[in-house]
Amino acid sequence: MPKLQGFEFWSRTLGGARHVVAPMVDQSELAWRLLSRRHGAQLCYTPMLHAQVFVRDANYRKENLYCEVCPEDRPLIVQFCANDPEVFVQAALLAQDYCDAIDLNLGCPQMIAKRGRYGAFLQEEWDLLQRMILLAHEKLSVPVTCKIRVFPEIEKTVRYAQMLEKAGCQVRGHGVRSAGEGAQGAMSAGHRRVGKRVSRVPQAQGEWPREPSGAALSAPAALKPPSPTEGNLHNPALFEGRSPAVWELAEEYLELVRQHPCPLSYVRAHLFKLWHHTLQVHQQLREELAKAKTLEDVGEVSQALRLQCQEDMSRQKEGEKPSGGLPFFHWICQPYVRPGPKEGSKENSGAAGSKRALEEEDGGRPEVLSKNKQKKKLRNPHKTFDPSLKPKYARCDQCGNPKGNRCVFNLCRGCCKKRAFKESADCPGHRLLFRTKLEKSLAWKGDQPRLQEPPPPGPGGPGGFPEIVGSAVA
C-alpha cells in the first residue's frame, strides 16, 4: 500500500482529527491518552522519546511503546528528539509498526534540549534537518511530521516550513515563538495567515489563548492545534465542552492506571494538575498526596478528596459565587490561567520584598521557612538557615571551587593534584607528596647492589646436570 501524504494522510489515516493531545514529557503516557480519547480526543502523541536511548535500550522501548498492544490507542504519533539522521531513522524503524506516523521534535525550548542539541535548538541547522527528514521519508513506511517553532520574521518562517515540506514532512505543528524568545507567547496572526496560504500539508496552529469559557476550541485551522498542555491536564474533558467534578476524572484515570501501569510519579503529577484548585483549599490533602508511596495510597487520598468536596458542596449557599475569581467552584474541572510576564514579575517582586522585610525585621532570619527547609529541619532539628552563620570559603584561583585552607598553591584539591603532579611538588595540606615519593624512589634505586651474573653452564646442558649424574655413576 503506498504511503499517504498531505491532506490525504490526515483525512484517511488520522481520520480528519481535529482534537489533538500534544506530546508531553512523562505526562502523555498510555493511561492518560486513553482517558483523553474517552472524552473527545481524536489523535494523541506519545511523550517525547530520546532516539538514541530508544535504539540502544530494549527496556526503554518496552516501557514507552512496546508495553502492550492497545487497539483503542490509535491513531497515534510517536515523537522523537534527535540530531543524527541515522539514529533518528533507526529509532523510527523500531517504532513504525506501533504507530501511524513519526514526529521529529523541533520545538522543545528547554535547557536540556539546548545541552543535548535537539528540539528548537536545531532550527538554524537547515541542512541537517533536511537530511533527517529526507532519509526518514525515504526509509519509513509511515509518514513523517514535525513540531516546529516559528521565527520572529514571517518570511524566514515560510522558507523554513517550505524546506521541511519539500524534504518530506506531511503535517506541521506550528509552535509558538522561537526558542530564543521563551516558551510562552502566541503565534502572530500574520504567521498563521501566511502559513495557511503557502502550505501544502495540514498544519496545527499551536498554542491559542486559554479562556475559561472554552473559546479556544473554535480556533480556525484545517487541523486543530494540539491541546494546550495546561488545558488538557486540568480538564481532560475539554474537547467534550464540559467540566465534570474533579474526583470523577481522577477515579477514572486511576482505574486506567491499574489496567495500564505507569510510574507513580506520573500519576502524582497528573493529580496535582487535575486537583490544582481543590488542593489550594485543602492543603492537608496536598501533603498526603506528596507522601503517597503506592497506588493504593493515592486511591485513599482520592477518596478523602471526594468526601471533602462533597462536604463543601453541601455547605454551599444558594446564589453563592466561587471565590478567588474562578469561573466555577474548586471541585469542578477548570483551567489554570498562568499570569502573564508582567503580572508574574509584579508578584515575584512583591514576594521578594516581603521576604526581605521579614529578614530585616528578625535580624536576617526569616520567620517562615519554605516547605523544603521545614523538611530538612525535621530531619535535623539543630540545622540553621541563617546565612550569617554559614562558613565563608576562599575560592580556588583556577576553577572557583572552595580551596584548601592549607594548600601551598591556594587551589582546590583537583587543581592542586594536577599542578603538583605536573611540577613534581608536595602539598602537605592536601596530602599530596609527589616530590617526596620521587626522591624516595630514586634513593631506593641507588642503594640497591647490582645483581651478580650467574656462572656459565657446564658442558652437557643447563647447570651441568648430566656431568654430575655421570660422575656419580662412575
Helix pair 30-38, 246-259: axis angle to 10 deg: 130
Q: Determine contact, residues 174/195, Cβ cutoff 8 Å.
A: yes
In terms of residues, how long is the chain? 474
- Reply yes or no on whether 399 is catalytic: no
What does the alpha-carbon distance between residue 282 and residue 432 come to, in Å, rounded to a whole number? 58
The grid coordinates of residue 156 equal: 524566514
What does the alpha-carbon distance between residue 186 and residue 429 come to, in Å, rounded to a whole number? 58
What does the alpha-carbon distance between residue 339 and residue 468 come to, in Å, rounded to a whole number? 104
- In DSSP terms, 402 is beta-bridged to 395
What does the alpha-carbon distance between residue 283 and residue 301 come to, in Å, rounded to a whole number? 12
Give the H/E segment covering residue 81: strand 76-81
What does the alpha-carbon distance between residue 125 and residue 163 come to, in Å, rounded to a whole number? 12
Pairing of strands 426-427, 20-21: unpaired
Lookup result for grid cell 608536595: 426
What does the alpha-carbon distance between residue 302 and residue 251 come to, in Å, rounded to a whole number? 7
Task: Find all residues with CB under 8 Å of 274, minimum gap 6, and list them.
Answer: 233, 234, 236, 246, 249, 250, 253, 333
User: Of the residues 99, 108, 169, 407, which is catalytic?
Assistant: 108
Secondary structure (DSSP) of 94-112: HHGGGSSEEEEEE---SHH
Lookup result for grid cell 482529527: 17
State yes or no: cis peptide before 85, omega within 30 of 0: no
The grid coordinates of residue 447 equal: 642503594
Task: Find all residues with CB under 8 Å of 455, minimum gap 6, and list them.
Answer: none
- Catalytic residue numbers read 108
